[in-house]
Amino acid sequence: MAKRFPRKKLHKTPKPKPAVAGAPRKAKPRRPGPPPVRTSEQPGERLQKVLAAAGVASRRECEELISEGRVMIDGQVVTQLGVRVEPDKQKILLDGEVLRQPRRVYFALNKPTGVVCTARDPAGRPRVTDLLPPNLGRLFSVGRLDMSSDGLILMTNDGELAQKLAHPRHGVEKVYHVQVAGEMTSDMLEQLRKGIYLAEGKAHFAGARIKSARKTSTQLEVVLDEGRNREIRRLLARVGHKVQRLTRIAVGPVKLGMLPVGAHRELTPQEVAKLREGGPPRTKKPERPRPARPAGKGVGAREAREAEQAELTRPSRRPKGAGRPLRTEGRGGKPFGSKPGGGKPGDRPGGGKPTGGRPTGGKPSGGKPGGRPPSKPSKRPSRRPPG
């Protein structure tokens, strides 16, 4: 009989499974291409900023114009925000008309009180732009003064210079005359020069001195090298002095001088050049090595010390019966312990637990001579039978 050999298993390719409805498809590998160019790395300025500087509209409105496809660069319609352009080399069209770059202008204005520095005010209050001729085009203020302050403010259509003057990194100093209520001391001014913590961080005066002092008020000269919202008023309020009047008299090399209230003048080329130079660069102070903290000075030590101090100064609780006169007589006017069995064994004037001593004028508290004092009660015999 012939011997049978087992058949060899042939390798079969698996059949593709049917695609399940809704299952995600595998993405095909793409060929590596050049990385996209970021708009921040492109040369030039942002398109909406160029349009706003040309006096077309505000930046928000210029962004809407770009999104609507009304702006063309070198014959191509642009709808993406953040695109950078070079106005001197590229041709920019708005609604089919060539965008004209306005002439840079710079003005110094003596702002009166009651005038706001915003471009638009829904409340309809007077604005600083209303004090300038309308044929100058769109101008904006460099920094701001609140409604209750007056003095020098710069107006321009040069956005690059305005940003440079407003940024604290360039250290452009601004000088103010401040009248505060009460009498200021040199210690307070030193504290303001060192710095005081506000909600957004530590703030300080770059310079401060007392010009004149009266019984009810003090005239100060304050120098700032940064601009925060109502910084002078908030810092002086932290040391307990309210600002009665605040006037800005200088911004870098530009002085207010004898300019009348509400009037304006154009800056000279020398003043504009000095503004572009900016102030001295601000350098960070070297960090001092911190000494090692002693024991008890770590996190939570302050709370622990305050709790300990509060515990020490807390008035002690009066014990029960303290401050009351002791009762030496019972009912009927008879003294305690004068009658045998008149009270509980071991009673004493003023009440309390039995102490095992003799009551005033009575028999021994134990009842029988030589008996155990009631403070140590005798053990009762167990009712459980033995065994």
Residues known to be catalytic:
146
* CA distances from residue 103 to 53, 100, 106, 137 in whole angstroms, order as listed: 10, 9, 10, 10
Q: Give SS3 for 234.
A: helix
Query: Tokens representing 266?
Result: 């154009």
Query: Tokens representing 141?
Result: 């203020």
Are 293 and 188 spatial neighbours (Cβ–Cβ below 8 Å)? no
Distance, CA of 47 to CA of 76 (rounded, Å)? 14
Strand-pair category, 196-198 with 150-156: unpaired
Distance, CA of 234 to CA of 231 (rounded, Å)? 5
Q: Where are the beta strands (DSSP E) in 161-317?
A: 174-181, 196-198, 201-203, 207-213, 217-224, 243-251, 254-255, 264-266
> What is the DSSP annotation of 107-167?
EEEEEPTT-B--S--TT---BGGGGS-GGG-S-EEES---TT-EEEEEEES-HHHHHHHHS
- The alpha carbon of residue 335 and the mean position of all alpha carbons in its chain are separated, in whole angstroms, by 73
